[in-house]
Structure 1
Amino acid sequence: MQMKDEGTTHRPAWLRRTRGEHRWPAALAVVVVVVLQLMLPDSMVPQARYVLPVLEIVLLAALMVANPFRVDRESTVLRGVSLALTVVVGLSNGWSAVLLVLQLVGGRSVGAAELLEVGAAIWGTNVLAFAMVYWELDRGGPAARAAASRTYPDFLFAQMQTPELAHPDWEPYFADYLYLSFTNTTAFSPTDVLPLSRWAKMIMMIQAAIALAVVVLVVARAVNVLGSA
C-alpha cells in the first residue's frame, strides 16, 4: 500500500523498517496485571498465589535487561521469553476467571462489593492480557513489525485502510492493541479494527466469551445480592 505525499510516493511506516516502539507501555501493562492479581482474594487465584506474579516479574526483568528501550531486535531467545510472559499472564487471567465462574455457579456466598471488585480486577486483567497477545502476535510481534519482515497484517487498522488520513510515519503500537482489546471486551465484537487471520478471529472470540461470562455472572449475582439485602 502506498500514498502520495507532496508529489512523491511514500511507503507507510507499517510496511517499512522502523526504529521499533518503546518497551515501557507493555512493561507497564505487566506491572498493572501483577498488581491486579495481588488484589484478588486467595479463593480467586491458584493455590500458590505468588508463583505466577513472581514469574511474570522475572520474565519482564529479563526482557528489560536484554532489550530495555526499543523493541527492535529479532532474537529467538527474546521472542521466546516475550511469548512465555504473554502465556503466563493469559494463564493467570484465565485461571482466575474460571475460579470466579465456578464459585458463582456453585452458589458461594459473596458480598456485592467484594464481587464487583473481583469482577472488575479480572475484567481489567482480561483487557491487558489480550492486548499483550495481540501486540505479541500481530505480524510476528513488535520486533518483526519494526523489521517489516511480514507484509500481511493480522489486524487491519483504520489508518491502513485510509492512509491519506494518517501521518506517514504511523504504525500500530501497544496503545492501539490496548484499544482493540478494550473495545472487544466491551462490545464483544470488532469495532474499527478488523481481524484478518483465523488465529486473530479465534482469540478475539475467546476474549469476548471470557468478558461476557464475567460481566453477566458478576452483574447478575451482584443484583441478586443487593435485591435480597
Structure 2
Amino acid sequence: MGLPPHPDRVRTSRLDFWLARSAIACVAGLQLLVVNDLSLGPRWLAPALEIALLVPLSTITAWNQGRARRATTDAHWAEIHRFHRLIRRLAMVLTALVTVANTAALAALVRALLNGKAAGGPTLLVDALNIWGTNVIIFALWFWTTDRGGAALRGRPGAGDPDFLFPQMTMAPGDARTRFVPGFVDYLFLAFTNATAFSPTDTLPLTARAKLLMMAEALISLLTVALVAARAVNILA
C-alpha cells in the first residue's frame, strides 16, 4: 500500500544540509588562508579535492531531497533510503579528508615549533586560530553525520539510538520539545563548547563513538591552544 510523504519518515530540511555543505566550503577557504607552509602537498590540493567531492555530493543530496518530498510508495522510500546511505558514506569520506588535512597542518605547525623553524609570533597566532576554528567545524560535521544514523534519517521512526543527549530531550513526556531533532547548528554549538571547555557542557555523549569523537576534538583543541598559541605568545613577549 502506498504511503504519503511524512516528515517523520525522512528528514529533508534543505537548510540543514546546505549549512553542512557550506561548512565544507568554509573549511576549504580557511585552508587556503593558512600563512605558513603546513599543508600536505601544494596548498591548493586539499581544498581542490574537497570542492571536487562537495559539488557532486551537494547535487545528489538536493536531487534525493526532491524525490523524498514527492515519494508516495514504499518502493519510493526504499530507493530514497538507499541513496541516503550512499550520501552519508560519501559525506563521511569528505569529512575524513578534511580531518586528515587539518591534523596534518597541526602536526606540521607543532613540528616547526619544536624544531625552532616556525615563523614569527603573529603568523603562529593566525594559523593556530585557523586550525582551531577548522577543528570546530570538522567535528560539528562528524557529530551531525554520525548521530542516530545521519542527518537524513535522524527524525524518522526506527532511526538509531541517539549518540548525544541534548537538553530538549530531557523534557517531560508530552512536551513538544521531546520530539526535538537536532540540526547542524546544534552540533556546531556542541563542537564549539567542547573545543573551549575540553569537556561536555549541556549536551552529553551517550555512546562510545560519541565519547571518542569528543575526546579527539578536545585533544586537538587542547594541543592547539596550550602548545601552539601559548608558544606564539611567548615569541611575541
The TM-score range, normalised by the shorter chain, is 0.7 to 0.9
Deviation at 1:218, TM superposition (A): 2.2
TM-score for both structures, normalised by structure 1: 0.85
Contact 1:159–1:166 (CA under 8 A) maintained in structure 2 = no
Cα deviations across residues 42-63 of structure 1 (Å, max 9, x unaligned)?
5211123222211111111111
**C-alpha distance in 2 between matches for 1:149 and 1:42:** 48
Q: After the TM superposition, which of the residue ranges 122-131 and 81-90 deviates more from structure 2?
A: 81-90
Q: Among 46, 55, 63, which residue is 1:52 paired with?
A: 46
Deviation at 1:24, TM superposition (A): 1.0
Cα deviations across residues 110-150 of structure 1 (Å, max 9, x unaligned)?
21211111011100100000000011111111122143432
Contact 1:111–1:225 (CA under 8 A) maintained in structure 2 = yes
Give the match for residue 17 of structure 1: 9
Deviation at 1:165, TM superposition (A): 6.5
Give the match for residue 201 of structure 2: 191
Give the match for residue 162 of structure 1: 171
Gaps of 5+ in 1: 1-13
% of aligned pairs identical? 41
**C-alpha distance in 2 between matches for 1:59 and 1:193:** 31
Q: Secondary structure of 2:40's partner?
A: coil
TM-score for both structures, normalised by structure 2: 0.82
Give the match for residue 171 of structure 1: 181
**C-alpha distance in 2 between matches for 1:61 and 1:29:** 13
Q: Secondary structure of 1:33's partner?
A: helix
Give the match for residue 58 of structure 2: 64
Counterpart of 1:92 in structure 2: which amino acid?
Answer: A
Cα deviations across residues 26-79 of structure 1 (Å, max 9, x unaligned)?
011111100000011352111232222111111111112112275964324322
Counterpart of 2:156 in structure 1: which amino acid?
Answer: A
Give the match for residue 8 of structure 1: none
Q: Secondary structure of 2:99's partner?
A: helix
Gaps of 5+ in 2: 1-6, 69-79
Deviation at 1:225, TM superposition (A): 1.1
**C-alpha distance in 1 between matches for 2:42 and 2:23:** 22
Number of corresponding residues: 214
Give the match for residue 219 of structure 2: 209
The answer to whether the aligner puts 1:113 opposite 2:105 as a matched pair is no
